[in-house]
Structure 1
Amino acid sequence: MKLQTKLISAFIVIILFIGISQALILENKIQSTFQNYLEQYNVGFMDRMKTRLELYYEETGSWENVQELYFSTSTGLMGQGNGMMRGMSGNGMTMALSNADLVLLDKNGMVIADTAGTRIGENNSGLSGKKQDIIIDGKRKGTLILYQKAWQNLEKEFLRSANLAVMISSMIASIMAVLFAFWIAKRITIPLKSLVRGAKRTAEGGKWETVSINTKDEFHELGEAFNDMAQKLAKNEEVRQTLVADVAHELRTPLAILQGKLESIQEGAIESSEKVVLELTDEVYRLNRLVSDLQQLSLAEAGQLPLHLKPVHIKDLVERICSNLQWNADEKEITLLFDSIPADCLLELDPDRITQVIVNLVGNALRHAPEAGIVEVSLQKEADAIYLRVSDNGPGIPEDILPFIFDRFYKHDRSRSRNSGGTGLGLSIAKGFVEAHGGTLTVKSEINKGTVFTVSLLKK
């Protein structure tokens, strides 16, 4: 069952339950209220009648003619037979009863007056109903009984009309609520359908498209999160395909060289000389280095790179690395500056990993700096971190290239040979090693002014 059907069904069940419950409650409430109203009205009339009868007995000393004066319905009758209203003028009093009869008993329990006129002369001492004794000079002279009867046509019609109004209003409210349920269910499911379509397209490997949800609620946030996820998945897929192609390319060349030379040796086309063996060994080393670099990079990106941390003086580390690379700077007559590193900078880090980072950065700077150029390694200390910068005054990196220089196998200068250009993993590995230490590696560059790589490491 679809979500829209579930929502509509749930709304309808709830609405019907509320409507029926409300109708029953209102029906019982109206009936109870109406019954209480009638009883209070009749009891009030009974009290007034009792007062009039007491005055009458005090004046006359008997109950003679009481039926004709106060209980007879032969004149002034209104609604005879339905019990709703009876009226008659007697001694200036209008008598009106609703759904009840008044019966007057003498002191012996004999009926001497009855609004219905059917019980006179009977002994009705056991008549049920509300009773009030008529006391004159401390003696009981009679008993007034209010006898409730079943509801007549007019009372029933009133209740039927009230209940019908309640049912009609409940039905109208239920219909409107059901229509609203259809509308709100549609509003809820339309964004979900868009997300489902987008998820299916993504799962099928189709072209990524933006899911548009024009609301200002959680569905809009969900749509934005889905778009972000789909975009990242598309980029990751593109990176994966590029990675596979680059790895295949990097592996294909040394393998082709190895295969070609080994086949030539087998066929006797070339001799297995020391020079040929060394060339083959170089290609094996290249393959081994490529596989090792990929393994280290994968561990770093997965957060599983093993680090052997220990206190290291940055000055000693930088001086040792730069001294080893000095010959490369001398070949291009480049000035390699590293004397401004403070001696009191001690950090907890893996010296082998950070050494590889600095070697990659300084090596890249020396490779791109012009002849007679300048490469400088500097360090800035702050309260919670240090910033190691490697700068050169080379041609710089174009702005559209900067976002990609830390990608795997990315080479800014595609014209460089494999022997001079490397595999394109150096900066990716450097960034991974720095992040494994909890730091960051960033770059800034300006065309014809140079490039600055900054390694930031937090102090422990």
Structure 2
Amino acid sequence: MFTMVGLDLVAAHLSLQRSLYTYAEHNQADQAADWAQLMAVLYDEFGSWTAVQQHLPDEAALQIDGHKLGQIKAVIITRNNDVIKTQTKATPTPTWKSSPILFHGHQIGVLHMQGYIPSQVGRLKLQITRDFDEAQFAVLAVISLLAFLFISSSIRSFLEPLEQLAESATAMTAGDFDAPLPENGDEEMQKVVNAFSVTQQRLHEARETRKKVLADIHHELRTPLNVIANRLEAIHLGLFHWDEQTAAVLQEETERIQTIVDELEQLNDVDAGVRKLDCIWVVVQEWLPKIVSLFAAEADHRSVNLKLSMPVSPLCIWMDKNKMSQVVVNLVSNALRYTPPGKNIFVGVKSTIGQVLLSVRDEGVGIEPEHLPFVFERLYRVESSRNRETGGAGLGLAIVKEVVNAHGGEVTVRSWPGKGTCFQILLPEHDLNQHDVNQEN
């Protein structure tokens, strides 16, 4: 901006000088006319150009606009082409001004003269130029001051939300996720603030989730550890004797701890690997029966009927076979845990409008409606008493949701208290005839 103002000042200065030069050009043309008229007066007084030339030195004191006749360079070309000079070295050039010399309406010669600037015009030009430049510099100073104040204000208003955002970021690194965010700023700044706000909220939620998870893990591990510690202390004090019952209790609690640790490790693997799925083409009819068959012995032991239904036409899914197998294992394990003897568990798969629907439905105790929105949260336990015989660590369904989401699918649950629960998974379907199938046995 300062460059533009400077260029404007230079342009204005040059324009003024051009105007003054044009004025001087017109003034010099008037000078030539005035001197030509004076020569006509001399011609009238002396009667001929010869007499004028003889008396010209005597008339050298004549002056116009502060310049004497003897001080100017002028040449008179008479109508007879005689040359009369005011100075011996006066030689006309194309830049000289000329004016006809008229006597009683007849041209008796032409005056050629070198233009000059009258003293009063010179002083006026200098005064105008000086006053104009001073005014221009005053304008430049005012504009510069206003521009500086405006730019300083703009920069301050721009940097203020950035400084506040930096303070909030510093506070976040110290663990304070409730630091205020700037509310002012332009549209682009508000976009940055909004993005930062989302990050701040997610970090806050992650911290709260971490606190809750740690508290739940502490609770889950404390119970079996207390049982083991109390029983061993009782044995040490002689209150209990080491027998098969004591060994069975200690083994059960140890297995409970091992289950929690294993599920935490699985969940950690899922968190670390959801973006690194090792996907292959899997034919559902070859994969799912093998997973379900793993629970045949346990189902017989619990007197539960485990039933599998699949369509005849092959279905193909692009998926991480190991992680999706863990999903089915977790769902069927839960179903077996809550299904009483004599009841049924239905595992089914079918194609539905470009998707594969995988469902696990049991005829167990069901889930109360108030618990349904939270069953996929980590370490959430439906049993308020945390019965270790029927309930897991509360991580199995969280693993299910993480894996299904990583595959671009969706998992939902419906339940009817006292009648059973149904988990449904929707995954993208792929045409077996359009893809090469990589099968793993």
- If the length of structure 2 is used for normalisation, what is the TM-score? 0.72
CA distance in 1, matches of 2:276, 2:262: 14
2:378 is aligned with 1:408: yes
CA distance in 2, matches of 1:190, 1:388: 55
Q: Name the structure 2 match of 1:37.
A: 22
CA distance in 1, matches of 2:273, 2:287: 25
2:207 is aligned with 1:237: yes
Q: Which whole-Å deviations, capped at 9, do the CAs of 1:213-250 have from their partners, x for residues lacking one?
A: 24551111111111111111111111111222222222
Q: 1:348 to 1:187 in 2, by over 3 A?
A: closer
Decide whether the 8 Å contact of 2:350 with 2:356 is kept in 1.
Answer: yes
Q: How does 1:112-191 map to 2 (within 5 A)?
A: 112=86, 122-125=87-90, 130-131=95-96, 144-147=113-116, 152-191=122-161
2:285 is aligned with 1:318: no
Q: Name the structure 2 match of 1:453.
A: 424
Q: 1:353 to 1:147 in 2, by over 3 A?
A: closer
Q: Name the structure 1 match of 2:387.
A: 417
2:261 is aligned with 1:291: yes
Decide whether the 8 Å contact of 1:379 with 1:387 is kept in 2.
Answer: yes
Q: 1:255 to 1:165 in 2, by over 3 A?
A: same
Decide whether the 8 Å contact of 1:129 with 1:148 is kept in 2.
Answer: no
Instruction: Work out the number of aligned pairs and report it.
Output: 409
Quote the offset at 1:188 in angstroms: 1.0
Q: 1:141 to 1:321 in 2, by over 3 A?
A: closer
Q: Secondary structure, in 3 states, of the residue corresponding to 1:413? A: coil
Structure 2, unpaired ranges of 5+: 102-108, 436-441
Q: Which amino acid in structure 1 is aligned with residue 261 of structure 2?
A: V
Decide whether the 8 Å contact of 2:28 with 2:116 is kept in 1.
Answer: no
Q: Name the structure 2 match of 1:62.
A: 49
Decide whether the 8 Å contact of 1:336 with 1:374 is kept in 2.
Answer: yes
Q: 1:255 to 1:400 in 2, by over 3 A?
A: closer
Decide whether the 8 Å contact of 1:310 with 1:350 is kept in 2.
Answer: yes
Q: 1:36 to 1:134 in 2, by over 3 A?
A: closer
Q: Which whole-Å deviations, capped at 9, do the CAs of 1:429-459 have from their partners, x for residues lacking one?
A: 22333355x3334224477695543242564
Q: Name the structure 1 match of 2:232.
A: 262
Q: How does 1:99-114 map to 2 (within 5 A)?
A: 103-105=73-75, 111-112=85-86
- For 1:211, which of 181, 186, 190 is the aligned residue? 181
CA distance in 2, matches of 1:373, 1:72: 141
- For 1:378, which of 348, 357, 362 is the aligned residue? 348
Decide whether the 8 Å contact of 2:36 with 2:111 is kept in 1.
Answer: no
Q: Secondary structure, in 3 states, of the residue corresponding to 1:247? A: helix
Decide whether the 8 Å contact of 2:177 with 2:203 is kept in 1.
Answer: no
Decide whether the 8 Å contact of 1:299 with 1:305 is kept in 2.
Answer: no
Quote the offset at 1:257 in angstroms: 2.9
Q: 1:444 to 1:57 in 2, by over 3 A?
A: farther
CA distance in 2, matches of 1:210, 1:373: 56
Q: Which whole-Å deviations, capped at 9, do the CAs of 1:89-129 have from their partners, x for residues lacking one?
A: xxxxxxxxxxxx853236898743xxxxxxxxx53448999
CA distance in 1, matches of 2:158, 2:286: 64
Q: Name the structure 1 match of 2:412.
A: 443
Quote the offset at 1:261 in angstroms: 3.2
Quote the offset at 1:426 in angstroms: 0.3
Q: 1:106 to 1:54 in 2, by over 3 A?
A: closer
Q: Which amino acid in structure 1 is aligned with residue 256 of structure 2?
A: R
Greater shift in the superposed pair: 44-53 or 427-436: 44-53
Aligned Cα RMSD in Å?
4.7
Q: Secondary structure, in 3 states, of the residue corresponding to 2:115? A: strand
Structure 1, unpaired ranges of 5+: 1-13, 87-100, 113-121
Quote the offset at 1:290 in angstroms: 2.2
CA distance in 1, matches of 2:413, 2:43: 119
Q: Which whole-Å deviations, capped at 9, do the CAs of 1:356-384 have from their partners, x for residues lacking one?
A: 21122233345557898775433342676
Decide whether the 8 Å contact of 2:32 with 2:113 is kept in 1.
Answer: no
Q: 1:372 to 1:195 in 2, by over 3 A?
A: farther
- For 1:280, which of 250, 256, 262 is the aligned residue? 250
Q: Which amino acid in structure 2 is aligned with residue 173 of structure 1?
A: I
Q: Which whole-Å deviations, capped at 9, do the CAs of 1:317-338 have from their partners, x for residues lacking one?
A: 4345445546777899877553
Q: 1:282 to 1:413 in 2, by over 3 A?
A: closer
